[in-house]
């Protein structure tokens, strides 16, 4: 039981880190587009 919970938590942490990196890339892209529009 504990092993299954550990693998689930590690998988969730991996997914969250992937989502965080993806949102960082999207935010950077949106900021660059806004700078291009205002610049």
Confidence (pLDDT) at 10: 81
Q: How far apart are CA 10 and CA 4, in angstroms?
A: 10
CA distance 28 to 21: 11
Cα gap 36→16, rounded to integer Å: 30
Query: Taking 80 as the threshold, does the pLDDT of residue 2 lie above it?
Result: no
Q: Can you tell me the mean pLDDT for 2-18?
A: 73
pTM (two decimals): 0.46
């Amino acid at each position: 039981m504990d092993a299954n919970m550990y693998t689930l938590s590690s998988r969730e942490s991996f997914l969250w880190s992937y989502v965080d990196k993806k949102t960082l890339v999207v935010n950077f892209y949106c900021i660059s587009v806004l700078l291009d529009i205002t610049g």
